[in-house]
Structures are given as structure tokens and as C-alpha cells.
Amino acid sequence: MAHWAELDENNIVLRVVVTDNEEADEGYQWLIDNHGGTWVKTSYNGNIRYNFASVGGSYDEQADAFVPVREYESWVLNTQTYTWEPPVQKPEGASHWEEETQSWFIPVEYDAE
């Protein structure tokens, strides 16, 4: 099986589909013949193009990389992995990022006694 991402005119991923792949790029030709559009192969385990394509994410043609959706405005793109990273490293025990304060939330442990 092969996975393919359909891109819009701005290289935003519209959908990801699975096709047969018994012959090299067999699925690509079927997609073109039946759906038209622009299709780029993606790898579920990230073997090609850095990341598995995700709907709403984008494809960077020059880097030949799929970039996931940016969750927070303050996060920056790591051009070694093509993933978004927080401006502050996640400390141990942190549960989630808080964009308003641009910091990690660390839950307080209460003593039940």
C-alpha cells in the first residue's frame, strides 16, 4: 500500500489516501486518471519527506518535506526535522503548553494527608 497527499494550489494538504502499490507509482497514475489534482507520496513511518502528511498541514517543495499544522503561534519550525517546536524546552512533569503565558503548565501535586 502507498499513501498519497492531495495538495491545493498553496501546497496545503487536502486529504491523504491509500492506494495499491504493486508496481512503482501505480497508485499515482490511478489518482491522476481518476481525480486529477496534485499528489505527493507520503510515508506513514516518515521514511520520506520527513513527516507523514496531515490534513491542513503543508508541503514544502524546496525542502521536499511535509510540515504538520502549527498548533501555537509562538512555536518555530525546526528545519532539521520539519516539526514545530516550542520556544521553551518542555520541563519534566509538564503536562501541556499554555500559549497565553508562553510557558509549560506543571500540575501541582497535593498531599492527600
51-102 pLDDT, tens per residue?
Answer: 999 999 999 999 999 999 999 999 999 999 999 999 999 999 999 999 999 9
**Residue 27 lies inside a defined structural domain of this protein:** yes
8 A C-beta contact, residue 39 and residue 28: yes
pLDDT of residue 85: 97
Q: How many CB atoms lie within 10 A of CB 101?
A: 8
How far, in Å, CA of 106 to CA of 93, rounded? 6
**Residue 24 lies inside a defined structural domain of this protein:** yes
Confidence category of residue 1, pLDDT binned at 50, 70, 90: confident
**Residue 47 lies inside a defined structural domain of this protein:** yes
**Residue 30 lies inside a defined structural domain of this protein:** yes
pLDDT of residue 27: 82
Please give the residue range of the domain that contains residue 38. Answer: 2-69
**Residue 85 lies inside a defined structural domain of this protein:** no
pLDDT of residue 23: 67
User: How many CA atoms lie within 13 Å of 81's alpha carbon, on the beta-carbon side?
Assistant: 7
Task: Name the domain count of the chain.
Answer: 1
pLDDT of residue 4: 95
**Residue 74 lies inside a defined structural domain of this protein:** no
**Residue 18 lies inside a defined structural domain of this protein:** yes
**Residue 82 lies inside a defined structural domain of this protein:** no
Contacts of 28 (CB under 8 A, 6+ apart): 2, 4, 19, 39, 41
* Tens digits of residue pLDDT in 10-61: 999 999 999 877 766 678 888 999 999 999 999 988 889 999 999 999 999 9
